[in-house]
């Protein structure tokens, strides 16, 4: 049983990923205030084989979440494909019929459909919508009545605080998970190399484009034939993505665009709470229930501590160790929160 936060500190909602019913239940058991999920089809930006939900699973998940006082946020966060818009509209109808508390969406046409067809359904603007300034957020509020915006991971804390002063729309930010320097879901590097949109395929490096081969003890990772990285004997091998590959430039080999690392913002929780952030989101619907258990458990404890006594808050060593075990490349960063992208 967690202690209630101090009256002056508004506790942000802890939003956890659910790539399966097992992950949803794990998130609820470890203290998530909300879970986000999607269908097993192209309407969902994490459309991986073996993951996601049938409508029956969502119905079960909604009932279990509501029984615990938690919410279910339904991700319909891809952009509808020409000639197949009805599939996306059916997903919106399903979200309303299954009792979802909100839909997470980016496509303005679909958002318009949701607002008109289901006016009582809360709409959250997805991070895929790339709203990074007040005018963009206010336009979506005026046109479609959005209630929350998930901010891209390219804003500093100072910029987020400025946004909070300029809009009454709820702001949701990422607290932990994979980090990307590209516009969310619109990586042209991946699209060029693989022929697939990261938004529609749910991954920067679709499995059909990934190849591994070994020569003389060296493991080579390739994406559509492009050599992304090479690993010596016993060296941990990461999943090949173009932006996190090691390349030789002017005779020097290294990470040219981005070094594998994960976002970890728990040291910033008192600041984010003071700004008035409505929700802290954990990335990772493609990750295991073990990841969900560990990360949700840490964020639950950290948010509660930060709300109880923000001036004395400090991340515990065991929290950082637990998060570090799930970090990409075994490294963490505060990313753009502490400084802007250059």
User: E strand or H helix at 14, and its extent?
Assistant: strand 13-17
Mean pLDDT of 11-31: 97
Question: Could you tell me the pLDDT band of residue 340, with boundaries at 50, 70 and 90?
Answer: low
d(CA 73, CA 193): 32
Cα–Cα distances (Å) from 286 to 46, 215, 235, in that order, read 7, 31, 24
Higher pLDDT, 230 or 102: 102
- H or E element at residue 253: strand 252-255
pLDDT band at 199 (very low <50, low <70, confident <90, very high): low
In this prediction, residue 70 has a pLDDT band, given cuts at 50, 70 and 90, of very high
**In the predicted structure, residue 104 carries a pLDDT above the cut 90:** yes
CA 325 to chain centre: 18
Rounded to whole angstroms, the Cα distance separating 92 from 66 reads: 20
Residue corresponding to tokens 């299954």: 98
Residue 242: pLDDT band by 50, 70, 90 thresholds? Answer: confident
CA nearest to 38, candidates 83, 109, 87, 108: 87
User: Does the structure show a pLDDT above 70 at 342?
Assistant: no
Strands 13-17 and 34-37, how do they pair?
A: parallel
Q: Which comes out higher in pLDDT, residue 169 or 205?
A: 169
Q: With CA atoms as reference, report the closest residue to 165 among 277, 268, 279, 265.
A: 277
Residue extents of the structural domains in the chain: 13-179+261-337, 196-255
User: How much is the pTM?
Assistant: 0.88
Edge-first strand listing for the sheet containing 210-215: 210-215, 218-223, 226-231
Residue 208 predicted with pLDDT over 90: no
Q: Do the strands 218-223 and 226-231 form a parallel or antiparallel pair, or are they unpaired?
A: antiparallel
Residue 143 or 5, more confident: 143
Q: What is the pLDDT of residue 4?
A: 43
In the predicted model, is pLDDT for residue 237 greater than 80? no
* Cα→Cα distances 306→144, 283, 311, Å: 34, 21, 8
Arithmetic mean of pLDDT, 81-102:
96
Question: What phi-psi label fits residue 122: left (phi over 0), alpha (psi between -120 and 50 degrees) or beta?
Answer: beta
The domain made up of 13-179+261-337 has a fold known as TIM Barrel (3.20.20)
More confident residue, 280 or 222: 280
Q: Mean per-residue pLDDT for 37-55?
A: 90
Using 50, 70 and 90 to split pLDDT, how confident is the model at 24?
very high
> Which is more confident, 97 or 45?
97
């Amino acid at each position: 049983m967690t202690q209630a936060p101090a009256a002056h500190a508004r506790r942000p909602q802890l939003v956890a990923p659910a790539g399966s019913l097992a992950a949803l239940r794990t998130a609820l058991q470890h203290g998530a205030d909300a879970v986000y999920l999607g269908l097993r089809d192209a309407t969902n930006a994490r459309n991986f084989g073996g993951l996601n939900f049938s409508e029956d699973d969502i119905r079960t998940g909604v009932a279990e979440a509501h029984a615990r006082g938690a919410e279910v946020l339904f991700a319909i966060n891809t952009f509808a494909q020409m000639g197949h818009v009805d599939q996306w509209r059916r997903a919106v109808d399903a979200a309303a019929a299954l009792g979802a508390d909100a839909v997470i969406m980016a496509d303005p046409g679909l958002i318009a459909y949701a607002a008109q067809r289901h006016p009582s359904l809360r709409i959250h603007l997805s991070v895929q919508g790339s709203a990074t300034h007040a005018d963009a957020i206010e336009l979506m509020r005026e046109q479609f009545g959005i209630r929350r915006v998930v901010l891209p991971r390219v804003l500093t804390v100072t910029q987020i605080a400025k946004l909070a002063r300029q809009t009454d729309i709820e702001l949701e930010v990422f607290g932990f998970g994979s980090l990307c320097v590209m516009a969310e879901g619109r990586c042209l590097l991946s699209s060029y190399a693989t022929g697939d949109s990261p938004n529609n395929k749910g991954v920067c490096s679709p499995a059909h484009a990934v190849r591994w081969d070994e020569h003389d003890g060296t493991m080579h990772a390739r994406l559509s034939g492009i050599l992304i990285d090479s690993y010596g004997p016993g060296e941990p091998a990461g999943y090949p993505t173009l932006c996190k590959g090691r390349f030789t430039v002017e005779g020097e080999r290294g990470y040219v665009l981005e070094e594998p690392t994960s976002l970890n913002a728990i040291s910033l929780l008192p600041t984010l709470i003071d700004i008035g952030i409505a929700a802290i989101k954990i990335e990772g619907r493609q990750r295991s229930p073990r990841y969900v258990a560990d990360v949700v458990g840490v964020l639950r404890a950290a948010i509660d501590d930060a709300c109880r006594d923000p001036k004395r808050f400090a991340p515990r060593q065991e929290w950082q160790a637990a998060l570090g075990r799930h970090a990409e490349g075994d490294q963490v960063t505060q990313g753009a929160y502490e400084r802007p992208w250059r």
